[in-house]
């Protein structure tokens, strides 16, 4: 609820028309300005999230602990993609095949049978195969128990607050639970996997004959919002995962995209087809009232900064590095608004001191609209710069001393040369002066002698 109120406050703050750095001037559309009416759901718990920004657009009991059933497999697929190779071969163990409940979802894999990880993931996504989930767990972590611990640990890393996994398939256990809030965060992380993006909309897949099976396995998807022939088909739905046990009832995770806005809907404990009806209501509410807008392009805000070090009270330059945001920045806003009058304040020092590590936060960008901070974006160093090693400093100091001595010697020789030249010039000048005086005296004597010879006796 708090997030929704904050979103509406943000929307009100973005109404002043002016020059826009990242969009068009603000234009009103024919939509109500008052807070949108939220849908009434039959699900016991639900959440609607902007998949790009993580903004919560709707929630109902979103942090109540619930039994997830097979939407557990969203995490199973995530860990398989994060830790596996699609071309690797999985061999089904006795435990993987025979530890599932009789009558639960499967694709009739046999002990010792082999398929690729890619084929296994389609078996999970389309048919919710429980034995395949077990095989994936053993492939990733050696056992289903170790994999469940891995799942819980990964959930905590993603910010999940009330999630505990006991198995990889979602079969009922009182200690196997999550929340709508947590499941939305897991689903958001799964969307970062490019491989999943190529799989998510698939509704039909064939597993070819294997080492133990001569027949093709034909896999048809169960998520009816992806099925064009279903009455529950939703044109903007792009992927998701169904779930059901008698204790959990129907659970559902669904992704939908309209334009540049991608949403995640999660619903828990639904009767009949309520999970599809409620999910569509959530998406209609989200797409009708909200949009995802880019407020900052990372490529446009790459900056350079000097790197220096101080040694013996002397500052020396080590060159320049580029700093930039890690990714583009998006904001969830009302569909009746567009981001305008955007200012970006750069908070970056003129110099940074070594050592600098690639990925180190060096400064920030404050993205503002009408003087309100929409986002504070870290600027990260794109390269590392180490301090000058002690050995290098020692060598530099020796070279500097040698250079000083050489320079001193050259200066001394220069002074000595100048002194010698001046001394020689002085000697020559004095010699020429004496010679001139002698010539002058000799000339005077000659004149005197001539005068004396001419005088009368």
The whole-angstrom separation of Cα 264 and Cα 184 is 7
SS3 of residue 118 by DSSP: helix
The set of residues, in sequence order, having a beta carbon less than 8 Å from that of 381 and lying 6+ positions away, is 321, 322, 323, 352, 356, 357, 358, 359, 360, 362
3-state secondary structure of 404: helix
Q: What's the rounded mean pLDDT across residues 80-86?
A: 98
Q: DSSP state, 168?
A: S
What is the DSSP secondary structure assignment for residue 35, as one 8-state letter?
P
Shared-domain flag, residues 376 and 454: no
Q: Strand 351-353 and strand 303-311: pairing?
A: parallel
Q: Are 355 and 384 in contact (CB under 8 A)?
A: yes
- The two structure tokens encoding residue 296: 């900052």
> Would you call 30 exposed, middle or buried from its count of C-beta atoms within 10 A (0-12, 13-18, 19+)?
exposed
**pTM exceeding the 0.85 threshold for the entire prediction:** no
- Looking at the structure, do residues 106 and 76 belong to the same domain, yes or no? yes
* 156 located within any domain: yes
Strand residues in 335-433 grouped as ranges (E):
342-347, 351-353, 361-369, 372-381
Which SS3 state, helix, strand or coil, does residue 172 take? Answer: coil
Confidence at residue 316, expressed as pLDDT on a 0 to 100 scale: 81
Give the per-residue pLDDT at 35.
Answer: 65
- Tell me whether residue 308 is in a domain: yes
Q: How many domains does the chain have?
A: 3
Phi/psi for 19 (5° steps) reads -60, 135
Identify the band that residue 375 occupies on the pLDDT scale cut at 50, 70 and 90. Answer: confident
Residue 13 lies in a domain: no
Q: 258: closest CA among 231, 237, 278, 275?
A: 237
DSSP string, 377-389: EEEEESS-BPPPP
Residue 86 is predicted with a pLDDT of 98
- The pair of structure tokens assigned to 117 is 């990880």
Q: At which residue do the structure tokens 């990964």 appear?
A: 154
Residue 24 is predicted with a pLDDT of 32
Residue 167 and residue 300 in one domain:
no
Residues 172 and 108 in one domain: yes
Alpha carbon distance 378, 280 (integer Å):
36
CA–CA dist 400, 405 (Å, integer): 9
Tokens 């077990």 belong to residue: 134
In-domain check, residue 3: no
The yes-or-no verdict on residue 11 having pLDDT over 80 is: no
Query: Do both 322 and 418 map to the same domain?
Result: no
Counting Cα atoms < 13 Å in the Cβ hemisphere of 403 gives 6
Please report whether residue 387 resides in a domain: no
The verdict on 324 and 370 lying in the same domain is: yes
Residue 215 is assigned to a structural domain of this protein: yes
Indicate whether 64 belongs to any domain: yes
Are 348 and 331 in contact, with CB atoms under 8 Å apart? no
Select the more confidently predicted residue: 46 or 404: 46
pLDDT computed for residue 341 by the predictor: 67
Query: What are the counts of helices (DSSP H) followed by strands (DSSP E) for the chain?
Result: 10, 17
Give the span between the Cα atoms of 234 and 427, in whole angstroms: 110
pLDDT of residue 393: 56
Distance CA(135)–CA(143), nearest Å, equals 9
Q: How far apart are CA 125 and CA 78, in angstroms?
A: 11
Q: What pLDDT, on the 0 to 100 scale, is given for residue 2?
A: 40
Residue 258 pLDDT class (50, 70, 90 cuts): very high
Instruction: Name the residue range of residue 150's domain.
Output: 43-270
Using the predicted structure, report yes or no on whether residue 1 has a pLDDT greater than 50: no
- For residue 457, what are its two tokens? 């006796």
pLDDT score, position 372 = 80
- The answer to whether residue 18 sits within a structural domain is no
Say which range, 25-39, 215-229, 381-395, has the weakest mean pLDDT: 25-39
Domain match, 398 and 370 both: no
What's residue 99's pLDDT? 95
The answer to whether 260 and 291 are in contact (CB under 8 A) is: yes
Taking the C-alpha atoms of residue 12 and residue 432, their distance in angstroms, rounded to an integer, is: 99
Q: Are 252 and 356 part of one and the same domain? A: no
Q: Which of 106, 67, 49 is nearest to 250 (CA)?
A: 67
For the stretch 100-151, pLDDT in tens is: 998 899 999 999 999 999 999 999 999 999 999 999 999 999 999 999 999 9
Phi-psi domain of 103 (left: phi exceeds 0; alpha: psi -120 through 50; beta: other): left
Q: What angle do CA 363, 365, 367 make, to 5 degrees?
A: 165
Whichever domain contains 359, its CATH number is 2.60.410.10
- Residue 161 — φ and ψ, nearest 5°? -105, -25
């Amino acid at each position: 609820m708090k997030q929704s109120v904050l979103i509406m406050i943000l929307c009100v703050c973005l109404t002043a028309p002016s020059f826009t750095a990242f969009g068009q001037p603000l234009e009103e559309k024919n939509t109500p300005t008052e807070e949108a009416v939220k849908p009434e759901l039959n699900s016991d718990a639900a959440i609607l999230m902007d998949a790009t920004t993580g903004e919560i657009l709707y929630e109902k009991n979103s942090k109540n602990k619930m039994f997830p059933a097979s939407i557990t497999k969203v995490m199973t697929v995530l860990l398989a993609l994060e830790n596996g190779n699609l071309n690797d071969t999985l061999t089904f163990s006795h435990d993987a095949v025979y530890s599932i409940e009789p009558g639960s979802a499967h694709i009739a894999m046999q002990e010792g049978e082999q398929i690729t990880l890619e084929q296994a993931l389609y078996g999970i996504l389309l048919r919710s195969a429980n034995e395949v989930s077990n095989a994936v767990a053993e492939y990733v972590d050696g056992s289903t128990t170790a994999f469940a611990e891995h799942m819980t640990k990964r959930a905590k890393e993603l910010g999940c607050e009330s999630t505990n996994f006991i198995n990889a398939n979602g079969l009922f256990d009182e200690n196997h639970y999550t929340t709508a809030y947590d499941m939305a965060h897991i689903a958001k992380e799964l969307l970062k996997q490019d491989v999943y993006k190529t799989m998510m909309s698939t509704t039909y897949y064939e597993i070819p004959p294997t080492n133990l099976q001569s027949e093709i396995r034909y896999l048809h998807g169960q998520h009816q919002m992806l099925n064009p022939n279903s009455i529950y088909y939703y044109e903007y739905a792009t992927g998701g995962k169904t779930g059901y046990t008698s204790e959990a009832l129907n659970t559902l995770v669904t992704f939908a995209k309209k334009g540049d806005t991608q949403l995640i809907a999660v619903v828990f404990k639904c009767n009949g087809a309520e999970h599809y009806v409620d999910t569509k209501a959530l998406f209609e509410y989200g797409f009708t009232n909200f949009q995802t807008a880019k407020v900052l392009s990372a490529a446009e805000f790459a900056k350079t900064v000097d790197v220096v070090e101080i040694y013996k009270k002397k500052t020396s330059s080590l060159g320049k590095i580029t700093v930039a945001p890690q990714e583009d920045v998006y904001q969830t806003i009302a569909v009746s608004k567009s981001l305008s009058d955007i200012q970006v304040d750069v908070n970056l020092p003129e110099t940074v001191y070594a050592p600098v590590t690639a990925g180190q936060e060096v400064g920030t960008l404050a993205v503002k609209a009408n003087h309100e901070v929409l986002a504070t974006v870290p600027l990260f160093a794109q390269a590392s710069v180490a301090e000058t090693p002690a050995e290098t400093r020692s060598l530099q100091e020796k070279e500097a001393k040698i250079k000083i001595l050489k320079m001193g010697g050259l200066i001394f020789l220069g002074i000595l040369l100048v002194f010698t030249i001046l001394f020689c010039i002085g000697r020559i000048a004095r010699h020429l002066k004496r010679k001139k005086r002698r010539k002058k005296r000799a000339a005077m004597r000659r004149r005197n002698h001539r005068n004396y010879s001419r005088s009368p006796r």
